[in-house]
Amino acid sequence: MSAVKSNVQRIAILGAESSGKSALAEALAQRYKTVWVPEYLREFVETQQRVPRESEQVMIARTQLEREDAMALKANGWLFCDTTPLMTAIYSEYYFSSADDDLLLLADQHHYDFTVVTAPDLPWIADGLQRESPAVRQAIHERVLAELEEREIPHLLIEGTLTQRVEQVEFALTFLMT
C-alpha cells in the first residue's frame, strides 16, 4: 500500500463484468461519507472508443493506482476501490493468455485492508464495448475466486440486491473498525 494517508482503510471491490461493483462502491462511499475510486478502464473505453490492447494493461493498472492514491487524500477513513491491478491481470490472462510481468508485480505488491467480491447474481446488462456476455462474466467470476484462494487473500463474497450487499459489507467492516 502506498504511504499516502495511512489511516485510510482501502477496500477492494472485485468482480466480473456487470456484477455491480461500481454501484456498490458508490453506495458504500455514500454510506460512510467518504469517496470511492471509479474503474479507470471504463473511462479509457469511453474516451478511446475501444478496448485496451495487451500493451496498455500495465498503464490501465498504474492509472488506477494513481487515482487511488489521489482519492486517499480526500477519503474519510475508508476508500472504496472499484477494481484493482489483480482484476486487470485476471482479464489480461483471460483475453491475451498472459499478463505482463510488470502487471503481475503490481497485482502482487498492492495490498488492501479488505476485499469484497460481487457475485454475478444481478441481471447481466450490455454496456457497449466493455462487456461481453453472461458466459464471460461467469468465467471471470470463477477466476477471481480461484485467484483469491491461490493468493490466500481473505475475501467476502456478497450477493443480492444493492441494499443487501451494502448491509453485508457494513457488517463485515464493523470488525475492521474494532
Q: C-alpha cell of 63?
A: 492509472
Band of pLDDT at residue 18, cut at 50, 70 and 90? confident
Q: C-alpha cell of 39?
A: 474503474
Q: In what order do the strands lie in the sheet with 156-158?
A: 35-37, 78-82, 9-14, 114-118, 156-158
Q: Is 125 helix (H, G, I), strand (E, B) or coil?
A: coil
Residue 131 confidence (pLDDT)? 58
- The residue behind cell 468482480 is 15
Which stretch, 6-10, 133-137, 148-152, has highest mean pLDDT?
148-152
Query: Does residue 36 belong to any structural domain of this protein?
Result: yes
Q: Is the pLDDT of residue 64 over 90?
A: yes
Q: Is the pLDDT of residue 132 over 80?
A: no
Query: Does residue 38 belong to any structural domain of this protein?
Result: yes
Query: Does residue 79 belong to any structural domain of this protein?
Result: yes
Query: Does residue 120 belong to any structural domain of this protein?
Result: yes
Going through the chain in order, the beta strands assigned E by DSSP cover: 9-14, 35-37, 78-82, 114-118, 156-158
Query: Does residue 1 belong to any structural domain of this protein?
Result: no
For the chain, how many structural domains are there in total? 1
d(C-alpha 78, C-alpha 8), whole Å: 5
**CATH number of the domain residue 118 falls in:** 3.40.50.300
d(C-alpha 138, C-alpha 147), whole Å: 14
Query: Does residue 3 belong to any structural domain of this protein?
Result: no
What range defines the domain where residue 73 resides? 9-176
Query: Does residue 95 belong to any structural domain of this protein?
Result: yes
Query: Does residue 2 belong to any structural domain of this protein?
Result: no
Residue 3 confidence (pLDDT)? 44
